[in-house]
Amino acid sequence: MKKAILYINQFFGQIGGEEKADFEPELRDGAHASAAIFNTLAKDVQITHTMICGDNFMASHPEEALERCLSLLEGKEFDMFIAGPAFNAGRYGNACGLISKAVQEKFNVPAITSMNVENPGVELFRTDMYIFKGANRATGMRQDMAAMAAFADKIARGERLLPAAMEGYFPRNIRHEVFLEDIGLEPVMACDRAVDMLLAKLTGEEYLTELPIPAQDLIPIAAAVEDITKVKVALVTSGGIVPSGNPDRIESCSATRWGKYDISGLDRLPAPEFKTIHAGYDPEQADKNPNVVEPLDAVRALQKEGKLGDVDDYFYTTVGTGTTQGEAARMGREIAAELHSRNVQAVILTAT
């Protein structure tokens, strides 16, 4: 019987919800909380310890969190590391990816996790570990655990692992020479497979390419501003600068909200009245001087020099780290509609 350690966040560890998201790393003996489901499904692997860490603690203190998590594993015997499943929870997916990658590198054991395709952790970590295609909410817990358990059993038994599409995990951009008969398929020469795909495409039939090209949105480049002194400019940032207290409760990671704040009477963003709630970078300098992220001071200086025209009375902000493409696109459309209604013709967009 192979041994494994499973990582879960504060919610699935039955510590608490958002009010316990700063829960510090802890290692418990046995399969605790949702980890027990894995042990009912796996035949050749058993969870011997459960690691629990709050999503905010991992997102806000990644270096400290990883160091502490890894130190808790020192001296423990385990053959593989399981994390999640993380569903479509961005912070949780990021945490599962961070700890899984760190454990693989330090202890040289395989790591397995599960995330929904919309989880930003997929694109961040899919080339680093096995990430199974999971449900978008916790109602899929058992089926996601079953997929990870079955794969862990295969590794434990030393069986040959099949390509990503056949096993059910996201492709890792690793290409191996494979003999089709070894994976239960009839051998067909590459030239014949290519012709078969071409004929299927020409006749409108379904086919599966052997080298998929990721689909990307192509955004047309906006026309250049002819005279920046004659247009209205707005400040927009994904750097998480907000009024102290974060009145719109914008998430520090995997954001689903954005804010709009009045700067009409300000020459600069004063601290501590403004600060960052972004969990993807060290906040020290931004908290000391929010203008290093949202450069209102520089914009006002350009206005006084006559090098810049009108500036919108509001600045617009959200957090970029871990935010899904879908959420980012939605917030972008909403902010753009607001800017259009305020007759803004140009944007100064700052990140981190």
Could you give all domains of the chain from N- to C-terminal order, each with its CATH number? 2-167 (3.40.50.2300), 228-350 (no CATH)
Q: Is the dihedral of CA 211, 217, 219, 220 positive or negative?
A: positive
Sign of the torsion formed by the C-alpha atoms of 143, 145, 148 and 152: negative
Task: Going from the first residue of the chain to its last (352 residues), give the mean pLDDT of each consecutive group of 10, the final group possibly shorter.
Answer: 96 90 94 93 96 91 93 96 93 94 96 94 90 94 96 95 89 76 76 91 88 74 90 96 95 90 96 93 92 96 94 96 82 95 95 82
Taking the mean position of all CA atoms in its chain, how far away is CA 52? 19
Strands 45-52 and 26-29: antiparallel
pLDDT for the residue numbered 179 = 72
pTM exceeds 0.75, yes or no = no
Contact 168, 147 (CB under 8 A): yes
Pair type for strands 311-317 and 259-262: antiparallel
Whether the bond into 272 is cis, omega within 30 of 0: yes
Can you tell me the distance from the alpha carbon of 283 to that of 175, in angstroms, rounded to the nearest whole number? 40
Please give the torsion angle defined by the CA atoms of residues 35, 5, 63 and 121, in that order, rounded to the nearest 10 degrees. Answer: -60
Strand order in the sheet with 346-350: 259-262, 311-317, 233-237, 346-350
pLDDT of residue 101: 95
User: Pairing between strand 274-276 and 241-243?
Assistant: antiparallel
CB–CB of 311/294 below 8 Å? no
